[in-house]
Structure 1
Amino acid sequence: MDYRDASLPIPERVQNLLEQMTTEEKIGQLIQPMGWKTYRKESDGTIQVTEEFKENIAQGGVGSLYGVLRADPWTEVTLETGLIPSQGAAATNEIQRYAIENSRLGIPILFGEECSHGHMAIGATVFPVPLTVGSTWNTELYRKMCEAIAVETRSQGGAATYSPVLDVVRDPRWGRTEECFAEDPYLIGELAVEAIRGLQGDRLDSDRTIMATLKHFAGYGSSEGGRNAAPVHMGLRELHEVDLLPFKKAVEAGACSVMTAYNEIDGVPCTSSTYLLNDLLREQWGFEGFVITDFGAIQMLVSGHNTAENGEQAVAQSLQAGVDMEMSGFMYRKHLAKALEQGLIHHQDLDTAVWRILEMKFRLGLFEQPYVDPEFAERVIGCEEHVELARKAAQEGIVLLKNEGNLLPLSKTGPKIAVLGPNANHTYNQLGDYTSPQPSGQIVTVLEGIRRKVGAQAEQILYAPGCRIKGDSREGFAQALACAEQADVVVMVMGGSSARDFGEGTIDLRTGASVVTDNPWNDMECGEGIDRSSLNLMGVQLELVQEVYKLGKPVVVVYINGRPIAEPWIDEHVHAILEAWYPGQEGGNAVADILFGDVNPSGRLTISIPKHVGQLPVVYNARRTRGKRYLEMDLEPQYPFGFGLSYTEFQYDHVRVVPEMIEPNGEAEVQVEVTNTGTVAGAEVVQFYITDEAASVTRPEMSLKGFRKIHLEPGQTRTVTFAVNAEHLELMDSRHQWVVEPGKFRLMVGSSSKKWKACDLQVQSEVGPV
């Protein structure tokens, strides 16, 4: 058994093991059943593996398990039936031990876990969702967050994560907008690289790193009408220049796995696209990891896309296109052997996929270190350092959209504050989708954060929910208005919810108390599979804000939500607006830090917020040929990409490029002086955009090509420099070749996509490949 010899090169170990495997054992490596169904929890907290799992091991083994530690309403795993950190680590050890000791070759299982904004397991740190993370424009902070997620996951046995999400958002009605970073591919690409560095580290065979899975490949954020898994209508040039760019960056950074998207592109399902999974990903980009499907994606080829007549054809299409592992495992387990018998696939196709998976298991060190330390898991998961990191990410991701008359920051002494709204004190509403059930006291709501901030003045804080996210009940209006009447300033925490039904009950709208019912209210209006036809506040939320506004008190609206909200009345009338997205477990503290000025807001929008849903798509990098304005309104967003206010002011001076003329493969530098002209310290996001003035194919109006987040004391000036090279200037021409064309490029540096200063760069010489 040379494959057990760690001194041998990994390719030799893979080849040795592969030669000894039966067809059944090979197929077993390609399947990933639902992990939470492989065990049952005993009264003492230990677990017993199920008979079904034992049977699967006996029939050839299981290559991977999905979500052994996942807990949520979909899995039906609760705080009572789920596992705390030390139990989770012990459980994966027990499952792993059974698989190794009861299979012929002792191949370890790869545990794959969901970690979009923290490990989706009981007790793990809940970080802000990616949309909030994107709004930080802080790649180093995100890398540290990924390092924390990696160690929390690996300490419990998880060795793979299904993140980062690199989809480019075109239509925010899409329910998965919250899982994405931005509408801009460059920004997503920079965050993608840091995700790989943070999750995978310098080596995979460590107790602090995990394998990253890029998803969803590709075009998933550009679906028809913003509907999940709907068709994507996109040309090859746009696909490469926009949607594929972040994936390419992440592959170059060393990503180990890629997940296919549910959608089709121009009639070809991504799960069976040879062009995407083989020609592009492997042959052109040199990807050396393995490809996994999304849950149930191969079945869609038979029922949904209807490109296959039966299961055998579906698995053959996927395997030959380049799909190595099937999440859920149903189709591969049931149909792969038959597809082999029918000659639809060959044994070499099977061997190729198995090789890729085994190679990754060796790289992860699973053959040498298949087990984890429960005591280490208990120490590291949810530790103080990670909680502080969650708070920091939320602080930097909150965007100040409006601050009329400098209402903010508020004083901690003196004013009586009414905290109103359905999201003011709702634990799960501020966490986002892909969240596990939360132990009592782990989440800090906005109400709790404000009360903590004012300390001894906590009796000055009045609270009423007023209404729910959805529904037309106004029974809470009277109490909310009574609180507002007594207050000097009103903070209204409105927005949306991606909270699935955790059985926590509902809120008494008259008292604000939690009420457990047999049929808990479900306010979910965002998240996977929850797409909308509009972007307005649901229910009677707007009406509540309008009624409170009539009282003549200063009103601050704090949005907690997973997609942009288009409410022109609120934009026009209320005095201050904070956009927090879903800020995670420390969101309440972070919002209070901003409201009272302990933290100067530095978040900037990564998604344009429209005035009206009828304007969609509203993206800053639209084509010049986007057409004329509507009869009722123009095409401009309410708040543009890159926008965000501060409690200080920043001035941009002396934008210049050196040299002013280069050849296609030449380099230049853009410099700008940024000064804090205000009275308090603050962080500014300096943004660098490029416009190609004339080209052989139509170009975006502008494209982000660089950014820096800098901290400046009052009166301090700093020179910020951006590199300009072929990568920033190139385009895909009419022959689908990457080239830098000669001509004039406008270079813009500023505080948003609508506020900048510019200089020009001339590129000379002939058109040439980059």
Structure 2
Amino acid sequence: MREEPWRDPARPAAERVADLVNRMTLREKLGQLYGVWLGQSSSDGEDDVAPFQHDLVDNDLNWPELIKNGLGQLTRPFGSAPVEPAAGAARLAALQGEIVSAGRFGIPAIAHEECLTGFMTHKATVYPIPLAWGATWSPSLAEEMAATIGAGMREVGVHQGLAPVLDVTRDVRWGRSEETIGEDPHLVATIGAAYVRGLRSAGILATLKHFIGYSASRGARNFGPVAIGPRELADVLLPPFLAGLRAGGESVMPSYADVDGVPPAANHALLTGLLRDRLGFEGTVVSDYFSLAFIELQHGLAANPGEAAGLALAAGVDVELPNVRCFGTPLLDAVLAGDVPESLVDAALTRVLRQKCDLGLLDPGWVSPQPSTVDFDPPESRALARRVAEESVVLLANDGVLPLRSGTKVALVGAQADTPSAMLGCYTFPQHVPSAGQGVAIPTLREAFEGEMTYAEGGEEAVAAAREADVCVVTLGDTAGLFGRGTSGEGTDATNLVIPGVELLDAVLATGTPVVLVLLTGKPYALGAYVGRCAAIVQAFFPGEEGGAAVAGVLSGRVNPSGRLPVSVPTDPYASPSPYLAPPLGRVNGASSVDPTPAFPFGYGLSYTSFEWSDFTGDGLSASVTVTNTGPVAGSEVVQLYLHDPVAQVVRPVVKLLGYAKVRLEPGESRTVTFDVPEEATAFTGLSGRRIVEPGDVELRIAASAVEVRQTFAATVSGPEREIGPSEERDVSVTVR
């Protein structure tokens, strides 16, 4: 019998996929366009389903019926409930075997998992949150971390990771700010693209999310409507996604929130006109969980699941997650009734099968891996988690009290200092499924503290301990949790930026004992009232399972802090925070009584050594500086290049990050950092609504933060004005020698 072309691995993928599509019935086609979430329950108050999603969770799934025509995806087979690693791999292999046996073509499902702070499963390494990745200012470290995470996922049969988040922070009161990398599009783009490359190197499909505008909601409310102009979308929110696509991102997840009245999952202009046609994306668009149902139930664009399915499919969504509601029988009926063209189904199916082909899932003899022993938290992963945590800690203030000197009588106070969960973000398994326990060792700051100290949780005991100490380390921070079960996380938004538990800080400050404030948070809190009052301030953004050791190392001096702020730290807890990427009228001015100046600016951070910046040179759109470590210990300096465009056809930010380099130097060592700026890197969206390079005078600023300018260079962008497309975008070239 002649072999069917689609089964032949030697044939081109496009030919194999086209042959398979032509052989499928409509029901079989639709089976490839949705996922199934097994083991998810809406009755447990500790699950990760939002209150208005409970009714959409099906606890009585008919598994044989769902897979008889094939299945597109398996939703979180490891991340939904605690499972031993090897047992989880065996269970996934068994499920895949059932899927292969049930369908006429024997096609396995793509298994996807969350991987925002590591493989989000029981007993897996918990890395720092993305805001901490941003604080490292180290794309290479993010890439190494992602490659390690991806290797663990692929080892047990997972194919797709729902990361990275490429939303740019716009208002840190938004609970999901902890999932973002920072408030600058270039920083988010470079770190995010590195994460994509890392996952791809391990054979994992990276999912870029949430396309687009999610982080710019009104009032920083989750799911809140988004009212932004085309320039904010194109110049601030889009660049990280373009970078992620260039890095090889093969899947995109639209956001929940409506953008100017249209949710992205039903927005043809975004998913097809922009993403596919203009940006050239050829991968799959997978829905955020339940977002197709929300087209009907939350946004009111459809009267029933069939109409929602038609809108999503026409917009460009290929796969419904986490379960089937719209892309099953409702879509089948809509196609048979002539309301939805089958050609749209075929287009989505072709993209899904192409990915399965590339993953080897169409090849004869494919089997899901079943390793007999699996360690999701090996020593090398813990060591990497510590490195990321150590490089992400930001020293905001220090009057010389840090590092703590030997013999110093230290009082360590605050419940967060002795709480393992204080290190964990919302998208970690222990915070998603609290009933499962930690799964991995998470030493607290108290346990990791290097030196003699007295501990008190709070109250009068803490105040008394502070009075008796030479220095008091006050540890405050967030509790990550979903939908209001905490102070940070998805659906856990804030109305103000008062530090949780700040009463303890005020009480200890009143004793007169020098205070080192340690913050373990998912967002920056307003510190204007404490600048100058605290002897030192240490900021760690949910630093993961090795965060206690990382912060303890900074306090002791074992670690020289090298983190820099990926977001501005506000001054006033009750004023709307303003990102640094603001135009002149977004800064302090005489037109408003509100001063949005941050307590600590974007890009800021201190070190235990000193650096001298010298030999500044500028030549056209190139600039360089020599940095020397003039202090007693090795350390890292982050050299930043900003663009100031004084006159333009539309309002421009006062400064915009163009490039950066994190330079590690031994005592006495010097290195030269050179930035070569292509004219395309100065592009913005002009009056025409298109990205343009505008001729004229600009200024390059070499700086240690968005406000600490060390040298400026006048430069000129030559004419004439020209429009550039996505393929013509260029980043600054950075060399360190």
TM-score w.r.t. structure 1 length? 0.87
Which residue in 1 is equivalent to 2:46? Answer: none
Q: Which amino acid aligns with 1:11?
A: A
Q: 1:721 aligns with which of 642, 664, 674?
A: 674
Q: Which amino acid aligns with 1:547?
A: A
1:61 aligns with 2:61: no
Q: 1:219 aligns with which of 213, 224, 227?
A: 213
| Unpaired segments ≥5 residues, structure 1 | 39-48, 72-76, 202-207, 455-459, 467-476, 502-521, 661-667
Q: 2:377 aligns with which of 382, 389, 409?
A: 382
Which residue in 2 is equivalent to 1:5? Answer: 8
CA contact (8 A) 1:115 1:162 kept: yes
Q: Deviations over 1:265-287 (max 9, x none)?
A: 11121111111111111111111
Which residue in 2 is equivalent to 1:585? Answer: 545
Matches of 1:630 and 1:524, distance apart in 2: 37
| Count of aligned pairs between the two proteins | 694
Which residue in 2 is equivalent to 1:481? Answer: 463
Which residue in 2 is equivalent to 1:656? Answer: 617
The structural deviation recorded for 1:339 is 1.5
Tell me, what secondary structure is at the counterpart of 2:235?
A: helix
Matches of 1:216 and 1:440, distance apart in 2: 29
Which residue in 2 is equivalent to 1:524? Answer: 486
CA contact (8 A) 1:629 1:635 kept: no
Matches of 1:655 and 1:633, distance apart in 2: 37
CA contact (8 A) 2:577 2:596 kept: no
Q: Which amino acid aligns with 2:672?
A: T
CA contact (8 A) 1:431 1:499 kept: no
The structural deviation recorded for 1:764 is 2.8
Residue correspondence of structure 1 range 76-475 to structure 2 within 5 A = 77=81, 82-201=82-201, 208-328=202-322, 329-368=324-363, 370-375=366-371, 378-379=374-375, 381-404=376-399, 406-411=400-405, 413-437=406-430, 438-439=437-438, 442-450=441-449, 453-454=450-451, 460-466=452-458
Matches of 1:34 and 1:630, distance apart in 2: 53
Rate the CA distance shift 1:523–1:410 in 2: closer, same or farther, 3 A.
Answer: farther
The structural deviation recorded for 1:630 is 7.4
CA contact (8 A) 1:156 1:377 kept: no
Moved more, 580-589 or 477-486: 477-486
Matches of 1:432 and 1:336, distance apart in 2: 37
CA contact (8 A) 1:152 1:377 kept: no
Rate the CA distance shift 1:111–1:671 in 2: closer, same or farther, 3 A.
Answer: same
CA contact (8 A) 2:99 2:107 kept: yes
Matches of 2:148 and 2:705, distance apart in 1: 31
Moved more, 210-219 or 300-309: 300-309
Matches of 1:376 and 1:761, distance apart in 2: 62
Which residue in 1 is equivalent to 2:642? Answer: 689
1:533 aligns with 2:524: no
Tell me, what secondary structure is at the counterpart of 2:585?
A: coil
Q: 1:637 aligns with which of 598, 602, 625?
A: 598
Rate the CA distance shift 1:278–1:441 in 2: closer, same or farther, 3 A.
Answer: closer
Q: Deviations over 1:368-408 (max 9, x none)?
A: 475444437614x211111111000000001001101x100
Matches of 1:160 and 1:440, distance apart in 2: 23
Q: 2:472 aligns with which of 490, 515, 523?
A: 490
CA contact (8 A) 2:466 2:508 kept: yes
Rate the CA distance shift 1:200–1:596 in 2: closer, same or farther, 3 A.
Answer: same
Matches of 2:216 and 2:283, distance apart in 1: 26
The structural deviation recorded for 1:768 is 2.2
Matches of 1:310 and 1:654, distance apart in 2: 67
The structural deviation recorded for 1:523 is 6.3
Q: 1:740 aligns with which of 690, 693, 710?
A: 693
Q: Which amino acid aligns with 1:713?
A: E
Q: Which amino acid aligns with 1:432?
A: G
Tell me, what secondary structure is at the counterpart of 1:361?
A: helix
CA contact (8 A) 2:35 2:321 kept: yes
Rate the CA distance shift 1:377–1:24 in 2: closer, same or farther, 3 A.
Answer: farther
1:558 aligns with 2:552: no
Matches of 1:722 and 1:653, distance apart in 2: 15
1:759 aligns with 2:718: no
The structural deviation recorded for 1:353 is 0.5
Q: Deviations over 1:65-92 (max 9, x none)?
A: 1111114xxxxx3xxxx21111111111
CA contact (8 A) 2:70 2:106 kept: no
Tell me, what secondary structure is at the counterpart of 1:378?
A: coil
Q: Which amino acid aligns with 2:615?
A: H
1:674 aligns with 2:627: yes
CA contact (8 A) 1:428 1:499 kept: no
Which residue in 1 is equivalent to 2:651? Answer: 698
Which residue in 2 is equivalent to 1:26? Answer: 29
Which residue in 2 is equivalent to 1:36? Answer: 39
What is the Cα-based RMSD across aligned positions, in Å? 2.0
Rate the CA distance shift 1:613–1:492 in 2: closer, same or farther, 3 A.
Answer: closer
CA contact (8 A) 1:85 1:374 kept: no
Matches of 1:254 and 1:109, distance apart in 2: 21
CA contact (8 A) 1:112 1:160 kept: yes
Tell me, what secondary structure is at the counterpart of 2:673?
A: strand
CA contact (8 A) 2:250 2:284 kept: yes
Moved more, 388-397 or 424-433: 424-433
Matches of 2:78 and 2:140, distance apart in 1: 28
Q: Which amino acid aligns with 1:64?
A: Q
Moved more, 554-563 or 308-317: 308-317
Matches of 1:67 and 1:35, distance apart in 2: 8
CA contact (8 A) 1:33 1:330 kept: no
Which residue in 2 is equivalent to 1:595? Answer: 555
Q: Which amino acid aligns with 2:39?
A: W
Matches of 1:408 and 1:15, distance apart in 2: 65
Tell me, what secondary structure is at the counterpart of 2:624?
A: strand
Residue correspondence of structure 1 range 618-629 to structure 2 within 5 A = 618-626=578-586, 628=589
Matches of 1:629 and 1:174, distance apart in 2: 28
Matches of 1:374 and 1:114, distance apart in 2: 20
The structural deviation recorded for 1:479 is 2.4
Q: Which amino acid aligns with 1:394?
A: A
Tell me, what secondary structure is at the counterpart of 1:573?
A: coil
Moved more, 610-619 or 282-291: 610-619
Matches of 2:353 and 2:136, distance apart in 1: 38
Q: Which amino acid aligns with 2:676?
A: A
Q: Which amino acid aligns with 1:446?
A: L
Q: Deviations over 1:457-498 (max 9, x none)?
A: xxx3322221xxxxxxxxxx1222233344332211101110
Seq. identity, %: 38
TM-score w.r.t. structure 2 length? 0.91
Residue correspondence of structure 1 range 538-553 to structure 2 within 5 A = 538=500, 541-553=501-513
CA contact (8 A) 2:696 2:719 kept: no
The structural deviation recorded for 1:51 is 7.1
CA contact (8 A) 1:155 1:372 kept: no
The structural deviation recorded for 1:656 is 2.5
CA contact (8 A) 1:175 1:531 kept: yes
Matches of 2:574 and 2:463, distance apart in 1: 33
Matches of 1:242 and 1:638, distance apart in 2: 23
Matches of 2:135 and 2:355, distance apart in 1: 33
Matches of 2:217 and 2:438, distance apart in 1: 36
Which residue in 2 is equivalent to 1:504? Answer: none
